[in-house]
Copies of this chain bind each other. A is one copy, B any other.
Amino acid sequence: MINTEELEDRKEMVEACIKDGDSKKLNEIFSDMEAIDFAQIVEALEDEEIPKVMQLLNDENRTALMEESSDEMRIRLAKTLDNHALLDMFADMQKDDIVDMLGDFPTGRRKEVLNLMKADDRKIITNLLQYPEESAGGLMSTAYLALNENLTVSEGIHKIHEIGPKTEVIEIIYVTDRTHRLTGTVDLRDLLSSPGSKLIRDIMHDNVIYVTPEVDQEEVAKLVSRYDLQAIPVVSAKKQLLGIITVDDVIDVIIQEHDEDMLQMAGVSSEESLKTSLGQSIRFRLPWLLVNLATAFLASFTVKAFESTINKVVALSAIMTIVSGMGGNAGTQTMSVLVRELSHNKITFAEAMKGFFKEILLGIINGAANGLVTGVIVWLIYGNFYLGVIVFIAMIGNMIVAGVFGFLVPVVLDKIHADPAVASSIFVTTATDVLGFFIFLGLARLTLPLLLGA
């Protein structure tokens, strides 16, 4: 709820506080805004200002700043604290946030900090650290609310008063048996409106949707969004409750996966941003460009094979780029529809066949429409009727190529468990480039006497 100008204003105020060493004012500014907005200001500060901010903030605000900062920033902030100050801060943080932070630490420091922890905290944290960051285990929080199924409703409500304040979700309560196996969930509303003597077991829902810790975060996000969950429990192979993943973390996952899709489709690392250094950007982007260069040469060699034809009808060189380019555009359209479909739904064989033939028909019709326009313009400009006819036919041919490859490439990539969003585009445009040139220039070579005689 803060706009860019206000943020700039506050930034100047924060910088003034740093300069004056005004701890009181700085904490007031912090308390007056959302922690994440303050974190954005800190993100933009100079390196030498960071330790001063951390020094001037009180414990509570320092922890809140840490919690709302990006991974990169947390490391910068942590560097300004010694191990004991870090441990003090951890005492007020959720275990999953601590794990996220430690996971990004250099191994040496991580070990130091772990060794200083209390034994049972260390055990929980070490346990959580074993899961990959992008798995259900890496996302889960241990601050859930679980009740034994044999408690009565009033015993349950009493326990909630006690442990509720420390948990992330209170609306859904997880129910476990004696061996801590997940057996159901209770809606807090039902708990509050049931007679106190009833057993929790008797008011719980026993169809619980859950995941195991190794499940990928994208799958977690799909389940939470499909079933409108507030949180999803994570259980062991024996169905023992290990933690929960809350919806706010799921939203972050969805946005992150979205950005990854979009950037990777364009051959950019999902880690790249405006602030990425020049060297890093080169490392991210150059390899993809070199892969594309190889495919560009493929297309170039196709043209080269028809040099003698082009030498006789030089107009071909200007027109061939229209045929290849339009095929690329049409192929991208088909591919995008398929990538979206594959990311949300399973496609049955019958649906696939129907869709495939539709794309071919669409290629013929869109090819004919674009081919007609192009053919007529070419005929008028170059005064060569047969050149127009060739463009017309080649456009239809290349749009069929676009439909076929735009459809099959994502489907095949999905079948072999590659991400269609990432790799489809290079195969599709290579096909429409190479085959687009081949069809158009091939037709020109076959009809050369007509083209020259006109």
With beta carbons under 8 angstroms apart, the residue of B189, B258, B300, B335 that contacts A319 is B300
Measured between beta carbons, the chain B residues less than 8 angstroms from A338 are: 274
Max chain B C-beta neighbours (<10 A), residue from A263, A297, A307, A351? A297
Residue in chain B with minimal CB distance to A277: B358
- Interface positions of A from 211 to 253, Cβ below 8 Å from B: 223-230, 247-248, 250-252
CA distance A227 to B170 in the complex (A): 18
CB distance from A452 to the nearest CB of B (A): 14
Measured between beta carbons, the chain B residues less than 8 angstroms from A330 are: 285, 289
Residue in chain B with minimal CB distance to A437: B321
Taking a contact as CB atoms under 8 Å apart, the answer to whether B247 and A225 are in contact is no
Query: How would residues 42 to 76 of chain A score, 1 for a CB under 8 Å from any chain B CB and 0 otherwise?
Result: 00000000000000000000000000000000000
Known: A297-B322, A322-B296, A374-B293. A267 touches B329 (CB 8 A): yes
Taking a contact as CB atoms under 8 Å apart, the answer to whether B373 and A278 are in contact is no
CB of A369 within 8 Å of the partner chain:
yes
CB of A134 within 8 Å of the partner chain:
no
CB of A4 within 8 Å of the partner chain:
yes
CB of A272 within 8 Å of the partner chain:
yes
CB distance from A153 to the nearest CB of B (A): 13
CB of A92 within 8 Å of the partner chain:
no
Taking a contact as CB atoms under 8 Å apart, the answer to whether A1 and B165 are in contact is no
- Count of chain A residues with Cβ under 8 Å from any Cβ of B? 111
CB distance from A280 to the nearest CB of B (A): 10
CA distance A435 to B435 in the complex (A): 24
CB of A128 within 8 Å of the partner chain:
no
Residue in chain B with minimal CB distance to A407: B274
CB of A314 within 8 Å of the partner chain:
yes
CB of A93 within 8 Å of the partner chain:
no
CB distance from A363 to the nearest CB of B (A): 10
Closest 9 CB pairs of A and B: A317-B317, A266-B336, A303-B318, A228-B248, A304-B318, A258-B258, A4-B346, A296-B322, A266-B332
CB distance from A339 to the nearest CB of B (A): 7
Measured between beta carbons, the chain B residues less than 8 angstroms from A263 are: 336-337, 340
With beta carbons under 8 angstroms apart, the residue of B290, B337, B369, B377 that contacts A273 is B337
CB of A164 within 8 Å of the partner chain:
yes
CB distance from A141 to the nearest CB of B (A): 13
Measured between beta carbons, the chain B residues less than 8 angstroms from A255 are: 225, 254
CB of A324 within 8 Å of the partner chain:
yes
With beta carbons under 8 angstroms apart, the residue of B170, B292, B332 that contacts A267 is B332
CB distance from A448 to the nearest CB of B (A): 15
Taking a contact as CB atoms under 8 Å apart, the answer to whether A285 and B226 are in contact is no
Taking a contact as CB atoms under 8 Å apart, the answer to whether B225 and A252 are in contact is yes
Taking a contact as CB atoms under 8 Å apart, the answer to whether A366 and B289 are in contact is yes
Measured between beta carbons, the chain B residues less than 8 angstroms from A171 are: 169-171, 188
Taking a contact as CB atoms under 8 Å apart, the answer to whether A370 and B293 are in contact is yes
